[in-house]
Amino acid sequence: MEVTGAPSNDSKPAVEARLRDTCRVCDSNQLIEVLDLGRQPAANAYIAPGDLHLEEPKFPLTLNLCTNCGQAQLGHVVPADHLYRSYMFYTSTSQTMTEHFAQLLRTNVDEFVSPGGLVVEIGSNDGSALVTLLNDNVRVLGVDPSRNISVVANARGIPTIAEFFTGELAGEIYTTAGPADLIVGCNVLGHVDALDDVCLGLRTLLSESGAFVFEVPYLGDLLDRTEYDTIYHEHLSYFAVKPLAHLFDRHGLRLDRVEFLPVHGGSVRGTVKRGSGWSDQVAEVIDAEEREGRSDPGTFQAFAKRVGDLRARLVDTLVRYSDEGLQVMGYGAPAKASVVLNYCGIGTDLLPTVFDSTPAKQGMHVPGTHQPILDVSAVDEHGPDVLLLLAWNHAEEITRKEGWFLERGGRFLTPHLVES
């Protein structure tokens, strides 16, 4: 079944979302809907001022739970070409994340890559991670579907294939460059509809003693901290460790190690090798997830209730600030901003402007709710009393950079109503 985006009076053909009624991990059809965030535009589809009059394609944003394997996942798939070919998120906008990925590569190259060995990064974005290895005795290759951002990576000296990573592409890379000692994919698996095909590609490309190291936002943190704004069309899966371990096992891959990290609201990093089953350490984490009810429908019902409550409380707070004569503006225009603003119905009346450091986003408007995006250097001149910290996952870096705003008496408030 296809769900058509809102008809556009533009000449472009309408974009269509596909309803997926089988689980991405276990292929069962035992899916139940656990959250409905309404119809939303693609979260990174920022709008140029000249296009504001056009109707935006909007797609249903519903979260399903597979009661067979416990995988949380979106019900509707927006075509990947629509989401990624021209992309607005640049990893290099966060110094913290750039250092985080540099550290990940250093450690894993030392452990897995022999001199002259091949390191492949899937979803390599602007090359911020691989650039760390440019002076090392290793070969690097980026794979990223966004055409505009791959150009940036190539210009930085990171050979980058501007394509989606598939089983077929993995075979081509194997033929031309040989097996990879290390494949890295951070914040990528969640974006993939055809997980089986990507696993096939990993199995094809990995050297005998090589490793695939990935990071994904962790479902446990999403649930515990009610991070509903990380749910959007790009993120098709919300992973706990158990479904991941089963997925890899089915493809002749073994989840060997997991560790939990604070980035992006709480993430899990996994190390995968050729083999089957999973390690004792992974088994312990899976046991903990069972005890914590990470795949229980009741856990998700409680989560959905908290999401609705947060919406009401955030809107109440913004209305109260407005009544008190306080000026509120947004800080950061991440994809998450679009989810919060559209789901909560926060328009330019309650939040007139959003600031973001990404040059490509500046001068554009937030999808759906249309706040203009200005450079962060304009915060002072606009003089807000409160900044709604839409990029809350970078709170430490942002409050450090904008310490002057706090000293002046300003306040940051996250969409989850955490104040600083």
Q: Does 371 bind ligand DWN (CB under 6 A)?
A: no
CA 313 to chain centroid, in Å, comes to: 25
Q: Does 401 bind ligand DWN (CB under 6 A)?
A: yes
Among residues 25, 120, 213, 360, which is the contact residue for Zn ion, using CB under 5 A?
25
> Residue 44 has which token pair?
């990174």
Question: How many C-beta atoms lie closer than 10 Å to residue 83's C-beta?
Answer: 22
Helices (H) and strands (E) in the chain, counts: 13, 19
Question: How many C-beta atoms lie closer than 10 Å to residue 382's C-beta?
Answer: 12
Nearer Cβ to Zn ion (83/247): 247
Please state at what angle helix 280-291 crosses helix 241-250, rounded to 10 degrees: 140
Residue 115 CB-density burial (10 A; 0-12 exposed, 13-18 middle, 19+ buried): exposed
Nearer Cβ to ligand DWN (92/204): 92
Q: Binding string, 331-370, against ligand DWN, x = CB under 6 A?
A: -xxxxx-------------------xxx--x---------
Among residues 23, 263, 329, 374, which is the contact residue for Zn ion, using CB under 5 A?
23
From ligand DWN, Zn ion, none, which one binds at residue 376 (CB under 5 to 8 Å depending on kind)? ligand DWN
Q: Does 234 bind ligand DWN (CB under 6 A)?
A: yes
Residue with tokens 């996250």: 414
Candidates 67-75, 173-181, 321-329, 335-343: pick the segment binding Zn ion (CB under 5 A).
Answer: 67-75
Nearer Cβ to Zn ion (25/360): 25
Closest approach, Cβ 401 to ligand DWN, in A, equals 5
Contact 239, 268 (CB under 8 A): yes
Candidates 16-24, 124-132, 184-192, 295-303: pick the segment binding Zn ion (CB under 5 A).
Answer: 16-24
- Among 1, 8, 3, 30, which residue's Cα sits nearest to residue 295? 30
Per CB under 6 A, which of residues 61..120 are in contact with ligand DWN? 89, 93-94
Q: What is the Cα–Cα distance from 222 to 32, expressed in whole angstroms?
A: 18
From Zn ion, ligand DWN, none, which one binds at residue 68 (CB under 5 to 8 Å depending on kind)? Zn ion
- Among 32, 87, 40, which residue's Cα sits nearest to residue 63? 32
Q: What is the Cα–Cα distance from 81 to 13, expressed in whole angstroms?
A: 13
Q: Does 68 bind Zn ion (CB under 5 A)?
A: yes
Q: Three-state SS for 212? A: strand
What does the binding site for ligand DWN look like in residue numbers (CB under 6 A)? 89, 93-94, 187, 234, 264, 332-336, 356-358, 361, 376, 391, 393-394, 397-398, 401
Q: Which residues bind Zn ion (CB under 5 A)?
A: 23, 25-26, 28, 66, 68-69, 71
